[in-house]
């Protein structure tokens, strides 16, 4: 593959969660192109399994979709240097009120590789213990629900769960359990 070279990167907008850049790129045929880049500091997510085998999920309104979604607990890193395992455990506690005895790394995903560098590390949390109430950010409204794995898989196949980190996390857990 011939070399593609970035000629410039211009910050178009700085947001609370992401920054939007426009890159001017030299492509192999000699032309230049403008490519968008959404810069994200990263995130962590957790497949949280209770002792009874049910998975803790969060139901919340997502503005981009203009509807509620069912997702595994997740959230952005506080800084690019924050260990993702720490962030996953923090998000589990904040969003659900549970803590975990163990958190095992499952995988890393990039959510939208065409224009965004968001990377989410997904963990499996087991040995859950109720730690207290949710500790949500002031702009968060999250309901905690518990589901059987088989019901979540059906919801994925029925396109009722479409969030990429959630689909990936649940299907990896199902595979690990021999249910995929």
Angle between helices 164-177 and 149-157 (to 10 degrees): 130
Q: Is 31 helix (H, G, I), strand (E, B) or coil?
A: coil
Question: So what's the pLDDT on residue 134?
Answer: 59
CATH 3.90.79.10 domain position(s) in the chain: 41-177
Q: Is the pLDDT of residue 122 over 80?
A: yes
Q: Is the pLDDT of residue 137 over 70?
A: no
* Cα dihedral 174/115/88/157 (nearest 10): -20
Fold of domain 41-177: Nucleoside Triphosphate Pyrophosphohydrolase (3.90.79)
What is the value of pTM for the model shown?
Answer: 0.90
Q: Choose the catalytic residue: 2, 3, 66, 138.
A: 138
Any idea which of 66-70, 109-113, 133-137 has the lowest mean pLDDT? 133-137
Query: Residue 150 in contact with residue 179, Cβ under 8 Å?
Result: yes
3-state secondary structure 37-104: EEEECCEEEEEEECCCCCEEEEEEEECCCCEEEEECCEEECCCCCCCHHHHHHHHHHHHHCEEEEEEE
Query: Residue 20 in contact with residue 56, Cβ under 8 Å?
Result: no
Question: So what's the pLDDT on residue 180?
Answer: 57
Once rounded to an integer, what is the mean pLDDT over residues 107-116?
95
Query: Residue 37 in contact with residue 110, Cβ under 8 Å?
Result: no
Quote the CA–CA distance of 58 and 82 in Å, as a whole number. 23
Q: Is 85 exposed, middle or buried (0-12, 13-18, 19+ CB in 10 A)?
A: middle
| Per-residue pLDDT reduced to its tens digit, 5-40 | 999 999 999 998 899 999 999 999 989 999 999 999
| Mean pLDDT taken over the chain | 92
Cα angle 14, 16, 117; round to 5: 70
Query: Residue 83 in contact with residue 96, Cβ under 8 Å?
Result: no
Question: So what's the pLDDT on residue 136?
Answer: 58
Cα angle 41, 45, 48; round to 5: 165
The position carrying tokens 């499952």 is 106
Q: Is 138 a catalytic residue?
A: yes
| Per-residue pLDDT reduced to its tens digit, 56-74 | 999 998 989 999 999 999 9
Give, rounded to a whole angstrom, the gap between the first and last alpha carbons of the chain: 36
């Amino acid at each position: 593959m011939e070399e593609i070279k970035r000629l410039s990167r211009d910050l178009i907008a700085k947001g609370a969660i992401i920054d939007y850049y426009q890159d001017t790129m030299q492509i192999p045929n000699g032309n230049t192109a403008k490519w968008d880049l959404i810069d994200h500091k990263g995130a962590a997510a957790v497949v949280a399994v209770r002792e009874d085998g049910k998975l803790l999920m969060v139901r919340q309104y997502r503005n981009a979709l203009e509807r509620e979604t069912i997702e595994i607990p997740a959230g952005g890193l506080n800084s690019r240097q924050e260990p993702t395992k720490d962030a996953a455990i923090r998000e589990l506690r904040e969003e659900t009120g549970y803590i975990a005895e163990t958190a095992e790394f499952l995988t890393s995903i990039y959510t939208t590789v065409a224009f965004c560098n968001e990377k989410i590390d997904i963990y499996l949390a087991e040995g859950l213990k109720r730690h207290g109430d949710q500790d949500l950010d002031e702009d968060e409204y999250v309901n905690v629900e518990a589901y059987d794995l088989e019901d979540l898989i059906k919801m994925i196949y029925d396109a009722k769960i479409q969030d990429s980190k959630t689909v990936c996390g649940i299907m990896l857990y199902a595979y690990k359990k021999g249910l995929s």
